[in-house]
Amino acid sequence: MKPESEYDLVIVGSGIAGLSFALNVAKAGYRVAIFTKKDKAESNTNYAQGGIAAVTSAGDDLDKHVEDTLEAGDGLCDPKVVREILKEGPDRIQDLVNLGVSFSSLDDGRISLGKEGGHSKRRVLHVKDVTGKAIEDALLEAIAKQGVHLFEHYFAIDLITAKKVRKLGVEVEGEDDRVLGLYFYDGVDKQVKTIATPAVLLATGGAGQTYLYTTNPSIATGDGIAIASRAGLESMNLEFIQFHPTTFHSQKGDRFLITEAVRGEGAKLIDGEGRAFLKKYHPLADLAPRDVVARAIDREMKRTGAPFVHLDTVSMDIDFADRFPNVYKNCLDRGVDPSKEPVPVVPAAHYSCGGIPTQLDCSTKLKGLYACGEVACTGLHGANRLASNSLLEAVVLAHRGSKAVCTFIEGRKENSVELPEWIDGDAQVSDERVVLSHNLDELKRTMWDYVGIVRSTKRLERAQTRIRNLRREINEYHWNTKVDLPLLEARNLICVAELIVRSALQRKESRGLHYTLDYPDLAQKPENVMVGPLIC
């Protein structure tokens, strides 16, 4: 199947946000297409082990969930947004159950609820330790039944907007700026396609691949943030990069995430002498918020000179293989049996709490452009995401946003603009791809070394200088060639990395996930950091 030339709604990304959104809009009778850069199931959602947080037990309540979220967010959450999103949690959980998601249950039939860092109660619903995959599988089956068009190996290059085409001399009715369509790179035909649409949802996930070590799959290259920035939109709070405290340490580089739910079930972080060390950093010890735990591990590694710490899974009072079969198998495949020996772990870049500023209906400042999931910044996560709130945010806001999109589509005027075709560079793709790979390696190492768990102004300024040089080299050396996927991803990675550094330099305090040696204290008044668009 080939894509049509026009759709009512085009969605970029096939994670929980994009799939949920597509399902709701397609049910309303509109023509919906999803474009995903690799396989349809390749997304951050698919790798989400822990679960989805919501109040579903008698011993819990909304106020407790709100309080835990605000505490983790370190003063920067929007309390109204937090309450609005969390209160819809139980209804959206029921939606998933109705789709066929079978959450793990106890012997007595009650849903099994996990506990993760920062949560005062057990409220994390899970499907063993493959929750994201289970949800994604159910949603993929549901959208297929609704006739949603899903195209794999299509990379979104740029938005086509009224402002952009006016600059090319094309007449567009009205004076406002709005979405007209997108350019996509067809990874199979190796051509750029033009798709017209009045509404676009960016659901492209995060930007973990800007860092040398990350839990994110290779697709997480910050595409949505870069696309929005080139369309003239600001980014918000991008300095807050959550480093997951526990990823399996391997000298071969084949790391994988070990869900925080393992510590929720009793595992403890220990040093080389077998001593638990989190208690000296936070009263909640191993259930402290992720930013605290990641910094504590970083300090212990620097104090001892060890390249990793250990997660004591041996003393846990559970059947590890039964509760965490995916983690268990991955550890065994790498020569470690969690039931018999502690697991070597290190932090890695995991989740971006900032992104494209949106309202609770997923709308942005650009008419016709919506964003949902990790690519968006709603005010829920603040300076640090509470574990397992992200999947909940995606389904809740996809439900709200799809209603807004349907209203927008219904009230729009027909688009009669003839969209300009993509113009390639006049040179062939460079055969010196080693230059591009070296650029990306330098970018990732620069971000890891200077924009990591602990920062300083000097480190950030050094990173900014190097990244700007890389951006200039990409633009001058590579961008005059015909486009291809590695070049497009490099372009976005460098763009987002520079936005992260610019945002970090603006925050003159240490708050949540942003810890800087030059400003170790909290500012008196918490404020969001906005950075302007970057033409990259």
Query: Could you give the residue numbers annotated as active site?
Result: 290
Torsion of CA 477, 480, 481, 482, to 10 degrees: 140
For 143, the token pair is 């959208």
Closest C-alpha among 414, 417, 435, 436 to residue 489: 436
The answer to whether the CB of 21 falls within 8 A of the CB of 376 is no
The answer to whether 217 touches 42, Cβ cutoff 8 Å, is yes
Q: 280, 227, 267, 297: which is closest to 453 by C-alpha? A: 297
The rounded distance, in Å, linking the Cα atoms of 296 and 289 is: 11
Distances (CA, A) of 431 to 426, 435, 482, 485: 15, 9, 12, 14
Structure tokens at 191: 């051509």
Instruction: Write out the two tokens for 502.
Output: 């610019």
Q: Which residue has the tokens 């679960």?
A: 51
Distance between CA 201 and CA 217 in Å, rounded? 21
Task: Find residue 511's DSSP bridge partners.
Answer: 514
Helices 62-72 & 79-87 angle (0-180, nearest 10): 140
Q: Which residues of 48-67 are buried (b: 16+ CB within 10 A; e: fewer)?
A: bbbbbbbbbeeebeeeebbe
